[in-house]
Structure 1
C-alpha cells in the first residue's frame, strides 16, 4: 500500500522561512530511518504559494490564478511518499514525525494512493501496459535529469 504524508503549510512555510539546522538534521534522520526500513520512496518540500499558481477550469477553459493563496491551512508545504503493508504501519511512521517541526504544532495528513488494482476491470491489460511504460519513461527522464 502506498501513502502520501502531507505536511500542511503554516505561516512560517508560507513566509518562506527556511528550517533550522536542527529540524533539517531531525528530518534527515527520520527520512534515513524510513529509507533503511525500505518504506520511503520520495519526498520533497514545496516553495511558498506566492511562487505558485492555481489553474481553475470552467467549462473546460483554464484560468490561471497566481499565488499567494489566503488559506494557508488548505495548502501543503511538502510531502513524503511511503510504501507499507497497512494503514496502521503508515500511521506508525507518521507518528514518528520529528516533534521539533512547527515548534511541535504541525498538521500532517495521510492519504492512500490509488494503485492499478484499485481501478478494476476498466484498467485493462493494454491500459496497464501503457501506464507502466509512461511511468518507466518518467522515472528514466527524472534519473537522467538529475545527473
Structure 2
C-alpha cells in the first residue's frame, strides 16, 4: 500500500534546516529509498510563489499566494510504501525524530487510493 505523508508547517515561524540536519535527512532518504519504503519526497516552495485554484458554485477562481488566512501549510511530502498504516506512521516518525528539540512539525499520513487504471 502507498501512503502520503504531508509535512505541515507554520510558514512564518518554521526554522530552516541547518547543514547537519540536511545531511541527516539525506542519509535517511538514501536508506529508505534503498529499502523500498520511500518512493518520492520533496519540499514545497513558499506559498508566496503559489496559486490556489478554487471551484465554488460552478465558477473557477485563481488566487495568488501568500495565503495569509492559513496558519499551517503543506511544506513537503513523502510517498511511502508500507504494508499497514502503523508502519507508515513509524516511517514518518523516523523523519520527525531527526529534527530533535526546538522544532514544531506535524505530519498527516493518509493512505493513497488508486482506481483500477492506476489513477487517483
Q: For the superposition of Structure 1 and Structure 2, which TM-score range results when normalised by the shorter chain?
A: 0.7 to 0.9
Q: Which residue of 1 aligns with 2:27?
A: 29
Shift of 1:72: 3.1
Larger RCO (CA within 8 A; separation ≥ 6): 2
- 1:5-63 alpha-carbon deviations (Å, 9 max, x no partner): 111122245xxx75311121121112112112111111110011010011111232211
Secondary structure of 1:85's counterpart equals coil
More helix by share: 1
Task: Indicate yes or no: 2:103 matched with 1:104.
Answer: yes
Q: Which runs of 4+ in 1 moved over 6 A?
A: none
Q: Which residue of 1 aligns with 2:40?
A: 42
RMSD: 2.3
Q: How many residues align structurally? A: 117
Secondary structure of 2:109's counterpart equals strand
Secondary structure of 1:103's counterpart equals coil
Q: Which residue of 2 aligns with 1:9?
A: 9
- 1:99-118 alpha-carbon deviations (Å, 9 max, x no partner): 327833211111110023xx
Greater gyration radius: 1
CA distance in 2: counterparts of 1:31 and 1:104, whole angstroms: 19
More strand by share: 2
Unaligned segments of structure 2, at least 5 residues: none
Unaligned segments of structure 1, at least 5 residues: 117-122, 133-147
Q: TM-score, structure 1 length as denominator?
A: 0.70
